[in-house]
Structure 1
Amino acid sequence: MSRNPFAHHLRLKKPCENCPFLKVGGIELAPGRLQGIIEGLLSDDRSTFQCHKSVHSKHGGEWDDDGHYQPSGHEAMCAGAAATLMKRRRPTVAMRIAFAQGVVSPTQWDACVDTLVD
């Protein structure tokens, strides 16, 4: 049985303990970087933001000599990013497809919304 790629990509239901989208305890990014990520997600509903733990894991992809990431297919969308989009009622295309297929619920990230930056 093959796994649903949308369910796999959206498998994270809560942010990591150091997710940059958290109000408290998140990884500190360069000034303006988080807002830039959010603006990028809002301006292109075909985009995603991968969870850093799924990228930097034994199943994650590889970085080439030029600093470009080659995905492995095991990456997952950052739950903080997904919840931030849902908080703004702006899910990505992949999220909407997963909702329509019934493999992910639009309420999957509701429990963490209050923990996120505004």
Structure 2
Amino acid sequence: MPITKRPCANCPFRSDGGAVQLHPERLDDIVNGLLADDHKTFICHKTLDLERMTCAGAVGVMAKLGHLPLVARLGLEFGVISRDDIAASAALVIEPQDLKIQPRDMRVRPNKRSRAGKLQPTVGSDEAQQTESDPW
């Protein structure tokens, strides 16, 4: 999935006052969902009717948290985006401390299957996650 290069003028993650207003806890939910499953992405609202693209604002917040989602890591690997793109996006978005982020051990990750083949949540799973020190 392509990634926008910069947060749009009214990206909900922007910190400069131009952000579209969401329900007060919606940003928390989005970020907690991305932290819980790095295979998830957040679609840029400007691309919902076009070719859907990952939101650069969400990627910027996740970079500040040291937890790039898989789509961003793949984007770096294949040259879709650059470290400079991510750093520029991170400079335009809200600070993680302004969000209510669930502690790592409280996040639920659906990554195990029961004998019946249904997904079972795993609490605090660190599988397939990059290190805190280098999200790239």
- TM-score of the superposed pair, with normalisation by structure 2: 0.63
Task: Flag the 1:104–1:114 CA change in 2: closer, same or farther, 3 A.
Answer: closer
Alignment of 1:17-96 (within 5 A): 17-23=9-15, 24-55=17-48, 57=49, 59=50, 74-96=51-73
Give structure 1 regions of 4+ aligned residues with deviation exceeding 4 angstroms. none
Q: CA deviation at 1:109?
A: 2.2
Identity of aligned residues (%): 35
Q: Tell me if the contact between 2:59 and 2:89 (Cα under 8 Å) persists in the aligned partners.
A: no
Unaligned runs of 5+ in 1: 1-5, 60-73
Letter of the aligned partner of 2:10 in structure 1?
A: N
Structure showing greater relative contact order (alpha-carbon pairs closer than 8 Å, 6 or more residues apart): 1
Q: CA deviation at 1:115?
A: 2.3
Q: CA deviation at 1:100?
A: 2.3
Structure with larger Rg: 2
Counterpart of 1:62?
none
Structure 2 distance, partners of 1:108, 1:114, is 10
Structure 1 distance, partners of 2:39, 2:66, is 15
Q: Structure 1, residues 47-92: CA drift from partner, whole Å, max 9, x if none?
A: 000000100x3x3xxxxxxxxxxxxxx1000110011111212111
Superposed CA RMSD = 1.5
- TM-score of the superposed pair, with normalisation by structure 1: 0.71
Counterpart of 1:67?
none
Structure with the higher fraction of residues in strand conformation: 2
Q: CA deviation at 1:20?
A: 0.3
Letter of the aligned partner of 2:33 in structure 1?
A: G
Alignment of 1:93-104 (within 5 A): 93-104=70-81
